[in-house]
Structure 1
């Protein structure tokens, strides 16, 4: 028989050859256990078909169809994914609740002779674990918040700190968003954010790799990055953390932003659609003026006005309300290795 266990009893991948999620592709895409692979027992279309048959015809007819589809899909997985596995292969298998789908695959693999473990409670058990850990884990760490106006190079500085072995929690990286109206990430085209559940899984995995005896550096954010929310416990720890502010001349910030957001220059229509959201705050005349700057490619003027009228005032309001007053202010003319060394110096003495 396939062995079962709860998530809290399950070691990581070192114990298992691999972790197999047998849910449908859409379920897997929303969130999954770290390092899991997706071998669906029913794909999205098949799952919907069986569910419709269950409700509209009868559970018996649905079970017959489901069994045929499951058998066919397992056979395909055996002929492809499992074909080269040796006799010591030991997977962890899970589905939504640790029920029929995971046990269907586990039973076949067990009959072949492989040692199979089924996650008791399935993905729902894992989600309970994630929520509990994100409540209890953040208070065990000391956080160091890096603040500064938009374009001050905070993300670049944090990446440089990470390369030097400093513990950095890259919230914008995990959320795939820069945390502002224009913050959607682009890689040739706009890229979506992870689901809220997947965002939380990524945060937990990052926190579990950190050493509680060393500080964790993090950028000053609100509790919402794009459409993703920070776990309340983490957000509370950040608000109480020591804060260091970077100050950079506006002209340098403008140059940095033009370099970091080239997609708005190549896709001015997208930029215009984003700026429409500011109409209720600044009025139609201002928006039309910014449209004119876009049409005439006066990019430096546009970015300067967006900073002066929108981003900098919003920063002043939020930083004073959300975070502790900065314990240090570092004024620089450019973002460089010297900046990083200045940040680290008090922590290395």
Structure 2
């Protein structure tokens, strides 16, 4: 017989080593939010879930259950086979720890596949996330990477993480680059998924003396940084990276690659076109239309992004600023490492 376990039990199991959490809700629900690291083996497709839900509203619980079992019975072989491919302990969950996860766990148990079921489902996880964020706690000191657009802040964060320094990558969690063009080629995250990943990062780094973070705006794409973290970021030490214009243009083009979907970049530019002096805006648009992306990028930096950045930098007191002048990204990275009095590397 399968066993119901609490969220605490699940966390303890995950800490001990390999453990697979399986979200048996529909793909649409899974995409909206899930427990980080979970895989999706749904009891119902999006359309099947909608059908059963409609029956429940129109004809009641018994009719919905009957149709649900009919649908599920037809896909049992594939459902069971998917679980047979998992070679670790398994915990299944649905929204509230209700019918779908119970049915899945019962069937798997009958087939000799041992699983646990999460009590309270993902709703219990979401309540825990909200509770953690309500504590408004970020224990480590923040070292905030700041600087002009195109200064390689995200690339440096990734390199720091690869070298096992503690990093909270807000743009990575938001799946958005933080600019008017930041969504292109990406599927921006929603607030629930962002909150879940942020909580995991805060807890993972809570024993560290410091954490690197990028100097983001309060809103990144579709998500908002919690007030307590944003305020701490704004009052923390700011590491300002200064690279030559040509290096910044190169980094931006490598990151965004506007030639892969030129129309989206043109459409995004037209949203800010009125904020730029008319002759310059006209030249930028002509460059984008003709594929002269390097020149368009340089003009955008000089006449749109840099003036906005210069205004914001005046808000930070001098005793909170560290200026990093470098000819390229690698030199900037090395200088940042040198600013740390006692580098603390994350344990593998």
Cα distance in structure 2, aligned partners of 1:320 and 1:133: 33
Compare 244-253 and 13-22 and name the one that shifted more. 13-22
Per-residue Cα deviation, 1:19-76 (whole angstroms, up to 9, x for no partner): 2211111111222122322221222111111112222334332221112223333443
Aligned to 2:28: 26
Cα distance in structure 2, aligned partners of 1:272 and 1:84: 45
Corresponding pairs, count: 339
Aligned to 2:346: none
Note if contact 2:139-2:206 (Cα within 8 Å) is conserved in structure 1: no
Note if contact 2:280-2:299 (Cα within 8 Å) is conserved in structure 1: no
Aligned to 2:147: 148
Cα distance in structure 1, aligned partners of 2:338 and 2:97: 51
Cα distance in structure 1, aligned partners of 2:116 and 2:71: 23
Q: Equivalences for 1:99-178 in 2 at 5 Å?
A: 99-112=98-111, 115-136=114-135, 138-178=137-177
Q: Does 1:2 align with 2:2?
A: yes
Dislocated runs of 4+, deviation >6 Å:
none
Q: Tell me by how many angstroms 1:317 deviates.
A: 2.8
Cα RMSD over matched residues?
A: 2.6
Q: Equivalences for 1:118-267 in 2 at 5 Å?
A: 118-136=117-135, 138-185=137-184, 190-210=185-205, 212-262=207-257, 264-267=258-261
Q: Does 1:342 align with 2:335?
A: yes
Note if contact 2:266-2:285 (Cα within 8 Å) is conserved in structure 1: yes
Secondary structure of the equivalent of 2:95? coil
Cα distance in structure 1, aligned partners of 2:67 and 2:317: 60
Question: Structure 2: any 5+ residue segments left out of the alignment?
Answer: 343-348
Q: Does 1:276 align with 2:277?
A: no
Question: Structure 1: any 5+ residue segments left out of the alignment?
Answer: none
Per-residue Cα deviation, 1:251-297 (whole angstroms, up to 9, x for no partner): 332233233332x2354322221111113423766533322233444
Aligned to 2:82: 81
